[in-house]
Structure 1
Amino acid sequence: MDFADELQGYRKQRGMSQENLAEVIGVSRQAVSKWESGQSNPEMDKMIALSEFFGVSMDHMVKEVSGNQEAVPPLVTGNFHADVTAKYHYEYKSKRTLFGIPLVHINVGRGIHVAKGVLAIGNIAVGGLSVGILSLGGLCFGALAGGMISIAGLALGLLLAIGGLAAGIIAIGGLAVGIFAIGGLSIGMFSLGGCAIASRIAIGGYASGHIAIGDVTKGAYTILVEQDHFSSIQAEQVRGLINQEYPRLWKPVAEGIIAIFE
């Protein structure tokens, strides 16, 4: 029996499809098909993976490829229950480092895999630029991200956070919490959104703040929007209120708010 027949026999004894085996070894189904039809033979690294998976010695596998007809060691029969999806994993770490940290570290796969580098990509990523399900660092992208600048489903940023739920000095999201908050529901010192709640200036459909500007307002000083058009509000009116209530407000912030109505 040649290698092609042996491989097919091992696979069927495990109750596996060609797709299952291909995913375990990290190749395409077409590659497994070619091995079993005798059109090609696996490369050495794939041969090693096959021998380890089927519990067959490397010598035995190599001899089968070269045509040796030794007896096939027995395999455990029965339905295949192994978790083929758990085998997937890829890792790359650059040899170049910065202060002992790899410039690039990629560590992804099913399970928990941590990447640490200047550029880090992993299930969990920690780095200057990090991309992962959970990412931490300077500039972060992921489902959950925490860093200087974070863009994620749940984003926590010391400076800027953008996400479904965002919290940071500047927060932009469906729910935004920050000193400057912009979102569907925004809560902060200065808030802009569908529902804006602020300690100082709130602008939105519903606005609640010391200065509140919107369709529905609540605050010490309120300005109502006419017919849902913010253009109905005069920029000088807003400027006057800001200068009256917050004369020491940082000018770029004041001018940014006023610019909304110009």
Structure 2
Amino acid sequence: MTFQERLFQLRKQKGFSQETLAERMGVSRQAVSKWESGLSNPDINNLVFLSEIFEVSLDELIKGEAPQASEKEETIKIVEVPCSRHYEYKSRHHIGGIPLVHINVGWRGGRFKTHFKAKGIIAVGNIATGLISIGLISVGLFSFGALSFGLLALGGLALGLMLACGGMAAGGIAIGGVALGVFALGGLAVGMFASGGCAIASHIAVGGYARGHIACGDIARGVRIIERHISGSGTVIDSEMMILAIRQEFIGMWAPFREFLIMLYGGW
């Protein structure tokens, strides 16, 4: 039996399509098709990975022969050289054709591979897309990951339509080392309303260095400068001056939102 025939046989035994095997291998479907048709052969790393997926030795995979007892230990050593792990789970229950839970995580050669993708209501994967998503790269309504995008996003780099928290965060409300948002809070905060070590805002800025229409800080630049005072609890804003400035400078602002700002900044 040729290698091509053996590969086809093992794939069918596992119930894999060429596309499924290609996804697990991190190669294109065309590559698998060429292996099975004899137009090309996988390299040694892919051969080892194939042997792990089909749970056979390299001899069984290439020659179609089971290893002799004396050769078994040596064969196992060869198979274990690459550090490869993969786990996938899909729940039986679906909503709108999407699994309730899909977990698809793994790595190969000690590195995470982006072709392990999870898509579900709850998705966990190297790349995850779902209502609630957790992954190296995650996209969802509630998103958690090194790179996360969603309505509510938490991650090293987070982009959230409503709330974003991360080392670098951008969103309606952004909290992070570097924060960009309508309301921004961080070491470097930029937005309409910003608070942080360095705060730059179009409306109100509060921070060590503050630059905005209304500014309050150790170093403040703006149309209206609000002083800070030292008290027993630390440095506090002159609340009366802040409230007065908000009412005078934002006369045309929607009244309920202006009152919210007074409540937010007037109590500092």
Q: Counterparts in 2 of 1:20-59, with a 5 A limit?
A: 52-56=56-60
Mapped partners of 1:208, 1:139: distance in 2: 33
Residue by residue, what CA displacement relative to the aligned partner does 1:72-121 show, whole Å, maximum 9, x if unpaired?
6978x8994875213x1000000101111100000000122000000000
1:67 is aligned to: none
Percent identical: 44
Residue by residue, what CA displacement relative to the aligned partner does 1:27-53 show, whole Å, maximum 9, x if unpaired?
xxxxxxxxxxxxxxxxxxxxx978513
2:241 is aligned to: 237
Mapped partners of 1:211, 1:168: distance in 2: 22
Q: Counterparts in 2 of 1:208-227, with a 5 A limit?
A: 208-226=211-229
- Determine if the alignment matches structure 1 residue 96 to structure 2 residue 116: no
Q: CA deviation at 1:225?
A: 2.4
Residue by residue, what CA displacement relative to the aligned partner does 1:156-206 show, whole Å, maximum 9, x if unpaired?
001100000000010000000001000000000000001000001000010
Mapped partners of 2:54, 2:119: distance in 1: 31
- Determine if the alignment matches structure 1 residue 146 to structure 2 residue 149: yes
- Determine if the alignment matches structure 1 residue 190 to structure 2 residue 193: yes
1:119 is aligned to: 122
Residue by residue, what CA displacement relative to the aligned partner does 1:207-250 show, whole Å, maximum 9, x if unpaired?
0000000110001111232459432x331211000000113250
Q: Which has the larger radius of gyration?
A: 1
The two structures have a TM-score, normalised by structure 2, of: 0.68
Contact map agreement 1:56 1:73 (CA 8 A) in 2: no
The two structures have a TM-score, normalised by structure 1, of: 0.69
Distance 1:50 1:180, change over 3 A: closer
Contact map agreement 1:216 1:224 (CA 8 A) in 2: no
Mapped partners of 1:136, 1:94: distance in 2: 20
Q: CA deviation at 1:55?
A: 2.9
- Determine if the alignment matches structure 1 residue 131 to structure 2 residue 134: yes
Contact map agreement 1:215 1:226 (CA 8 A) in 2: no
Distance 1:83 1:134, change over 3 A: farther
**Corresponding pairs, count:** 202
Q: CA deviation at 1:146?
A: 0.5
Contact map agreement 1:192 1:204 (CA 8 A) in 2: yes
Q: Match of 1:84, SS?
A: coil
Q: CA deviation at 1:125?
A: 0.3
Q: CA deviation at 1:252?
A: 2.1
Which of residues 83, 97, 100 in structure 2 aligns to 1:85?
A: 83
